[in-house]
Amino acid sequence: MTRPNLVLIDADQKQCREVCAWLKQLNYAVAPLFAPDDLNKHLDRDPIKVVLVDLDTVAVDNNFFRTLKKQHPHIYVLVFSSLPYHPGLEESMGSYIYACLAKPLDSEELIYWLKSICENQPTFQEVPKR
């Protein structure tokens, strides 16, 4: 099974590094970002298939997710949070976000969703750069 490339957006730099290190141990290529503003530059450079977003530390809204999926429709978005509900993100939860995971991240749950993505998109070929 080919593993998708990931980017993790998490303003908590310590947590971001820990999650990235853990994913790298599982042979996932993952890039840490500490702010959502850096995402588009990164996506234009590298063939990313999964974007992980910590909703507790990163300020994003429906427009962020709508624009992301419009510009990069091939990307899967996973979010995680300690809150069970995010008022104002109903549109994104229903249309743009593939899964919402609870914090602290459960490694088995995250791996389950990454495998699910691989099954939905079995060949992760490079997306042509713009």
Q: Which residues of the chain have pLDDT under 50?
A: 124-130
50-54 vs 30-33, strand pairing mode:
unpaired
- Residue pair 49/4 in contact by the 8 Å Cβ criterion: yes
The neighbouring-strand residues paired with 33 are 9
Domain ranges of the chain: 17-55+64-97+104-120
> What pLDDT does residue 44 have?
82
Cα 16 off chain centre by: 12
> What pLDDT does residue 33 have?
93
- Please enumerate in sequence order all residues whose Cβ is within 8 A of that of 23, keeping only pairs 6 or more positions apart, or say none: 6, 8, 30
Q: What stretch of H or E contains 78?
A: strand 76-81
